[in-house]
Amino acid sequence: MKYVILVGDGMADEPLEELDRQTPLEHAHTPHMDALARRAALMGLARTVPEGMEPGSDVANMAILGYDPREHFTGRAPIEAAAMGIELGPDDVAIRCNLVTLEEQDGRLVMADHSAGHLPTPEAHALIARLKPVLEREGPFELHPGVSYRNLLVWRGGFSALRGVKLTPPHSILGQPVDAYWPQPPESEGARTLLQLMQKARRFLLSTQHEHNTQANAIWLWGAGQKPKLIPLKARFRVTGAVISAVDLIKGLGALAGLRVLNVPGATGYLDTNYEGKVEHALDALKEGDDLVYVHVEAPDEVSHEGSLAKKRQAIEDFDARVVGPLVEGLQRFERWALLLLPDHPTPLKKRVHTPDPVPFALVRSWEAKESSQVQGFSERAARKTGVVVEEGYTLIERLLGARA
């Protein structure tokens, strides 16, 4: 028995005037996804982001992997730590450390850029290497370079000091004065310690600006958390598996769920990604004995943040033609298989940010040869029409694995 979870990140959207009130998913040419929808054992809408939680890919994909985010989500950074292979002990805290650009405006510091101009990874690594001793000599801290402006600070044993400390994502305060968003509450030991580290880093980056010549003149700490306690999928459902994605966050989630992380050469997380390589690695993993593969494609989300309809249509059509079609075809070699197809969350082009709205899903079982004339295809509207709503999105995997009807 083989299982596949296929995620088109940010693929869901809202009706657009320029598409005669159709959504990009409805409008795009997607024969393979439509065929899956028509033969689905179950199709409908699923709430992958629990009410009240931030609609991040971390929360949504944690739910799709079968873990209730309300119970298990501890922040973005510990997931990235897992992807980077950084071990966290029970009292350790991982904290996302962005290299950012702050600007002086009317005597106040403003968050000008949460990415320090998307500085290239080699330059960021060089900068982090110089900043590392400056911060690490201040206490049980470790600074780990990541991808471009995204780095990680680990505070060994920092859990009790950081309990109740509120940190703000820098991309949510763009253009705003930062004084209200330093680690809160200012009187807490943990917040004071992080603020001192941020001030030390700023002094260092400003004093060496002429040397490193980048737009990075401060660090911003956020997304802190302990290692999430996830019972591996193998222990829960007796399935082994692999995760395939270009995105560290998804690799980290897969690793925390006990899946092997497969790195596909040329996987970029954008329109130029290696779709064929992803399909090949997925089918090879199943052939070599894995029960389950989690295949995540980032491109639709990236182009949705850009607000480009043409690119979103291309991303959806590429996903259909170069991932869904070949993967379903490749599955024919296996006697029995089941597949779950869905976006992780909507990223509406008009809003250019994620929303927590439920997403369409289709669950297909190879041995159930249904062909519904009711279902138009794979889209938000067709999913809504079925009347099926799975409020607890984290239970979808149980349906896929046959652990729930």
Contact positions toward Zn ion, by CB under 5 A? Answer: 9, 57, 301, 344
Q: Is the peptide bond before 185 cis (omega within 30 degrees of 0)?
A: yes
In angstroms, rounded to a whole number, what is the distance separating the alpha carbons of residues 147 and 119? 10
Nearest to 398 by CA among 175, 237, 184: 237
The distance of closest approach from Cβ of residue 248 to Zn ion in the complex, given in angstroms and rounded to an integer, is: 13
Q: Smaller CB distance to Zn ion: residue 301 or 320?
A: 301
Cα separation values, 164 from 16, 88, 220, Å: 42, 19, 18
**Residue with smallest beta-carbon separation from Zn ion:** 57
Which residue matches tokens 């997403």?
359
In angstroms, rounded to a whole number, what is the distance separating the alpha carbons of residues 25 and 298? 15
Q: Smaller CB distance to Zn ion: residue 80 or 301?
A: 301
Q: Give every CB contact of residue 314 below 8 A, 6+ residues apart in sequence.
A: 271, 303
Q: Smaller CB distance to Zn ion: residue 62 or 88?
A: 62
Q: Return phi, psi of residue 359, to 5°.
A: -115, 155
The distance of closest approach from Cβ of residue 173 to Zn ion in the complex, given in angstroms and rounded to an integer, is: 21
Q: Smaller CB distance to Zn ion: residue 296 or 365?
A: 296
The distance of closest approach from Cβ of residue 355 to Zn ion in the complex, given in angstroms and rounded to an integer, is: 11
Beta bridge partners of 260: 242
Q: Smaller CB distance to Zn ion: residue 35 or 340?
A: 340
Tokens of 167: 């940190």
The distance of closest approach from Cβ of residue 123 to Zn ion in the complex, given in angstroms and rounded to an integer, is: 27
The distance of closest approach from Cβ of residue 96 to Zn ion in the complex, given in angstroms and rounded to an integer, is: 16
The distance of closest approach from Cβ of residue 267 to Zn ion in the complex, given in angstroms and rounded to an integer, is: 15
**Contact by Cβ (8 Å): 293, 5:** yes
Q: Smaller CB distance to Zn ion: residue 193 or 245?
A: 245
